[in-house]
Amino acid sequence: MTKTCMMLFTCAFLSCGNQEAKQTTAAVDTPSTGIGTNTSDFHADSAYRYVEKQVSFGLRVPNTAAHKACADYLVSELKRFGAKLYVQEARLTAYDGTQLQAFNIIGSYNPELPKRILLFAHWDSRPFADHDHDPKNHHTPIDGADDGASGVGVLLEIARQLQIKDPGIGIDIIFFDAEDYGTPAFETRYVPDSWCLGSQFWGKNPHVPNYKADFGILLDMVGAKNATFYKESTSMKYAAPIVEKVWSTARALGYGKYFIHATGGAITDDHEYVIKGRNIPCIDIINYDPETPVGFGHYWHTVKDNMDNIDPATLKAVGQTVLEVIYTY
């Protein structure tokens, strides 16, 4: 764990403790009007197959053949589901100076409408299992079934649903590249802003000039069995009403065991750069485990982040909740 990350999580746990104490006496969220009127049905088995397919390409690490093959697959799927496609190609510099050939893949629905929601996830996978309990694995790339592929899988199924039923508002789906090439734990020098390179680039160079959305939702690690999503602190700082809307929708749909009514730590993630770069309020739905020292699942950045870890029930909870938010907005 890096020093910066450690500091983040120390604060996180302090605030988390307070929030949990409050939580026991907090009132149940009241569902916003319209919940239950959405008739779309998120197919978790389809989302699961999209996750599996990404993993089947191999390690989606920039500058590899598997990475390029997966990019082509994601473009073709978004096209198949009727989105207008933009592919942003960028040369990005990693923490160690490596030049990364990166692709941000963007699919838009109703691109002419001013009322829009931005949905995003990262599609690259981490080149090192630097948090594996076995140091021999620290330089081994990970499958990233949850860390990367799960969010993209959910968004592909959402894209399929958007084609079936027009939401009547604009939706942009962005698959960001090079999120997970951040300074590894085995590196002695922590390089700031080394995570989220694709979203940093897009924040400065949006796919359309002056791009704007009403709000954004990031899906990061949304497929693990028994995942828990806490109200992430940066999301609360910049987009508290969106957090409340999403969490109360999830609860109304019966997914309260996943969407926990308590605050979690501040996490450096793609939403931060979309907030800063485009001034769009964004939230991060991310599996957070206050019981582990790193704050994430036990499999996080280990070789165990594979398909065994993915549960369609979790994909369903997240996908159905986001669809409900879209169709009732």
> Which residue lies nearer to Zn ion by CB, 2 or 110?
2
* Site stretch for ligand AHN (CB under 6 A), options 110-118, 165-173, 252-260, 265-273: 265-273
Q: What's the burial of 66, exposed, middle or buried (CB within 10 Å: 0-12/13-18/19+)?
A: middle
> Which residue lies nearer to ligand AHN by CB, 305 or 324?
305
> Which residue lies nearer to ligand AHN by CB, 148 or 167?
148
Size of the site for ligand AHN (CB under 6 A): 8
Establish if 5 lies at the interface with ligand AHN (CB under 6 A).
yes
> Which residue lies nearer to ligand AHN by CB, 142 or 162?
142
Question: Minimum Å distance from CB 141 to Zn ion?
Answer: 11
Which residue in 95, 134, 77, 113 sits closest to 301, CA to CA? 134
> Which residue lies nearer to Zn ion by CB, 180 or 284?
180
* Site stretch for ligand AHN (CB under 6 A), options 168-176, 208-216, 254-262, 263-271: 263-271
Give 221-269 as a DSSP string: S--BTT--EEEEHHHHHHHHHHHHHHHHHHHHTT-TTTEEEEEE----S
Beta-carbon contacts of 275 under 8 Å, excluding residues fewer than 6 positions away, are 216, 234, 238, 239, 281, 282
Establish if 267 lies at the interface with ligand AHN (CB under 6 A).
yes
> Which residue lies nearer to ligand AHN by CB, 172 or 180?
180
User: How, if at all, do strands 170-176 and 99-109 pair?
Assistant: antiparallel
> Which residue lies nearer to ligand AHN by CB, 180 or 311?
180
* Site stretch for ligand AHN (CB under 6 A), options 151-159, 200-208, 241-249, 264-272: 264-272
Helices (H), the chain: 3-23, 44-56, 65-80, 151-164, 197-204, 233-252, 270-278, 312-327
Cβ 280 vs Cβ 204: under 8 Å: no
Cα–Cα distance measured from residue 109 to residue 93, given in angstroms and rounded to the nearest whole number: 31
Report the amino acid identity of residue 99.
Answer: Q
Choose which of 19, 268, 302, 309 interacts with ligand AHN (CB under 6 A): 268
Q: Which does 195 bind (CB under 5 to 8 A by kind): ligand AHN, Zn ion, none?
A: ligand AHN
Establish if 147 lies at the interface with ligand AHN (CB under 6 A).
yes
Question: Minimum Å distance from CB 106 to Zn ion?
Answer: 21
Cα–Cα distance measured from residue 119 to residue 221, given in angstroms and rounded to the nearest whole number: 14
> DSSP character for 178?
S
Choose which of 48, 81, 181, 195 interacts with ligand AHN (CB under 6 A): 195
Establish if 176 lies at the interface with ligand AHN (CB under 6 A).
no
Establish if 220 lies at the interface with ligand AHN (CB under 6 A).
yes
Q: What does the CA dihedral 184, 68, 122, 147 come to, rounded to 10 degrees?
A: -60
Establish if 260 lies at the interface with ligand AHN (CB under 6 A).
no
Establish if 269 lies at the interface with ligand AHN (CB under 6 A).
yes
Report the amino acid identity of residue 205.
Answer: N
Establish if 180 lies at the interface with ligand AHN (CB under 6 A).
yes
Residues 299, 300, 302: CA angle, nearest 5 degrees: 70
Residue the block writes with tokens 């796919």: 207
What does the binding site for Zn ion look like in residue numbers (CB under 5 A)? 126, 147, 180
Which residues lie near ligand AHN (CB under 6 A)?
5, 147, 180, 195, 220, 267-269
